Amino acid sequence: MTATGATWRNWGRTESVQPVRVERPDSAGAVQRAVTSAAASGLRIKPVGSGHSFTGIAVAPGVQLDLADVSGVIAADPATGRVTLGAGTRLYDLPRLLAPYGLALANMGDIDRQTIAGATSTGTHGTGLGFGGLATQIVAAKLVTGTGELIEVSETVRPELLPAVRVGLGALGVLVEVTLQLVPAFVLHAVERIEPLDAVLGAWGERVAGADHFEFYWFPHTGSAMTKTNTRLPGDAPRDPLGRVSRWVDDELLANGLYRGVCALGRVAPSTTPFLARQLDRFTGDRDFADFSPAVFTTNRSVRFREMEYALPLEAVPSAFGAVRSLIERKGWRVSFPLEVRAAASDENWLSTAYGRDTGYIAVHRYFREDPTEYFTAVEAIMDDHGGRPHWGKMHTQTEVTLREKYPRFDDFLAVRDELDPEGVFRNPYLDRVLGVRASVDAG
């Protein structure tokens, strides 16, 4: 199906574009035809996913591909735990789709609006020092290259390409299928506590090493951290889920409804932000519950924001966090959104933010109606000083020159890009900035 492009905006309202046209293929063959047609017309083409990236990684000025109809379970082998999904499958559909097979993702982030292809291609991750990002679960993939060829990459077919394709940034081709190595469905026991921030930072290494999944949030202008510790239990373990009313009060009324009001008031009256942050600390109570993993990993986020996240060497987190904390205090900024701090295992995917090192993540946010530029620019300088790598789907100002220094296999990735997309069919302004443009391809 083809339609004239209306204006597209991403979720965070940081990017917008009016494509020449929008195509909605329903098969790998239809994707091939769309790519071939775009190339013949001199247009570039991009799949859009859910639009949950804050960067312009999915912006498609030419042909925008909506892969919503390339979704669902294509094949499943419960004995091995491997499931092949259409690339447009939304993460929030996976619990329903995987339930008949008794399987689950080994780890998830706290947002499930993304497509599986978009989440893996941008390096989306959760938390837990024993677990890599979502892309580490990919064992095979099919993608349409810039010449319209459908190729397979797996542990046995062109395995040398897997470390590039898993976190491919949409630069290598259009993913149409991904095969994941899943795990038996499991229960998470969640413990959420308000703790002294300095104590949490002082025990950072021990906390992340001593838990299956550990993270914390800090509201600037307070001395407290909201810690979240999740322990993995077998799938038949007793569950004690949050009640419907309790979850609505905590996650909708307080986390979204009240917080939306706090952000709006903080925008027009910044001086109220420290007081309101301290009240949020008081309203955010301790929780202890157990449920199937997707219900614990993910949270509904309806208050729009803009985000920048940097991946750091694990041991650098306390120092970098302290520098950001001091920066906010020194500048007298009134920041209503919390900092989020997580950890993930080292992996070998070439453009993974956790490539070659156990990694800690620090994310900063601003309400979407506030200009984040000054805050994010200053925080980014701190992250650079601590060896940081930016999340590909979150705001940053890095370029090909600076990123090459951060990724040892950067040029190997570019070689794969040049092989699979020789004419630059999948380029867009964001990819040109972070990957550069070959001299043999028109930079226009």
Torsion over CA: 325, 108, 281, 269 (sign)? positive
Using alpha carbons, list the distances in angstroms from residue 172 to 82, 211, 251, 318.
24, 36, 38, 36
Average pLDDT over residues 127-151: 98
**pLDDT range class, residue 304, cuts 50, 70, 90:** confident
Q: Is the pLDDT of residue 283 over 70?
A: no
Average pLDDT over residues 12-31: 96
- 148's CB contacts (< 8 A; 6+ apart) are 32, 33, 35, 36, 39
Of the chain, the percentage scoring pLDDT greater than 90 comes to: 82
Report whether 50 contacts 113 (CB < 8 A): yes
Tokens of 204: 């950072």
Provide the pLDDT for residue 242.
Answer: 81
Q: Is the pLDDT of residue 324 over 70?
A: yes
User: One-letter amino acid identity for 59?
Assistant: V
What number of other Cβ atoms are within 10 A of residue 186's Cβ? Answer: 18
For residue 179, the cross-strand partners are: 84, 140
- The pTM of this model reads 0.92
Tokens of 169: 């940034």
Report whether 361 contacts 387 (CB < 8 A): no
- 244's CB contacts (< 8 A; 6+ apart) are none
Average pLDDT over residues 370-378: 96
The rounded distance, in Å, linking the Cα atoms of 189 and 216 is 16
Q: Is the pLDDT of residue 271 over 80?
A: no
The rounded distance, in Å, linking the Cα atoms of 11 and 46 is 17
Q: Is the pLDDT of residue 249 over 60?
A: no
User: One-letter amino acid identity for 10?
Assistant: N
For the chain, report the end-to-end CA distance as a whole number of angstroms. 28
pLDDT tens digits, 104-134: 999 999 999 999 999 999 999 999 999 999 9
Q: Is the pLDDT of residue 253 over 50?
A: no
The rounded distance, in Å, linking the Cα atoms of 172 and 49 is 16
Selection from 122, 111, 177, 184 nearest residue 150 by Cα: 177
355 DSSP assignment? B
Selection from 232, 238, 283, 218 nearest residue 257 by Cα: 283
**pLDDT range class, residue 41, cuts 50, 70, 90:** very high
Mean pLDDT of the chain: 91
Using alpha carbons, list the distances in angstroms from residue 411 to 76, 420, 440.
35, 14, 16
Tokens of 25: 């293929």
Torsion over CA: 208, 210, 213, 217 (sign)? negative
Provide the pLDDT for residue 145.
Answer: 98
**pLDDT range class, residue 172, cuts 50, 70, 90:** very high
pLDDT tens digits, 327-340: 999 999 988 888 99
Provide the pLDDT for residue 282.
Answer: 56
Tokens of 235: 């799938």
Q: Is the pLDDT of residue 258 over 90?
A: no
Average pLDDT over residues 368-384: 95
Q: How far is CA 331 from the centre of its chain?
A: 29
Provide the pLDDT for residue 292.
Answer: 97
Tokens of 390: 């930016």
Q: Is the pLDDT of residue 171 over 70?
A: yes
Judged on CB neighbours under 10 Å (0-12, 13-18, 19+), 224 is buried
Neighbouring C-alpha atoms within 13 Å toward the C-beta of 354? 28
Where is 113: in which H helix or E strand? Answer: none
**pLDDT range class, residue 266, cuts 50, 70, 90:** low
Where is 336: in which H helix or E strand? Answer: none
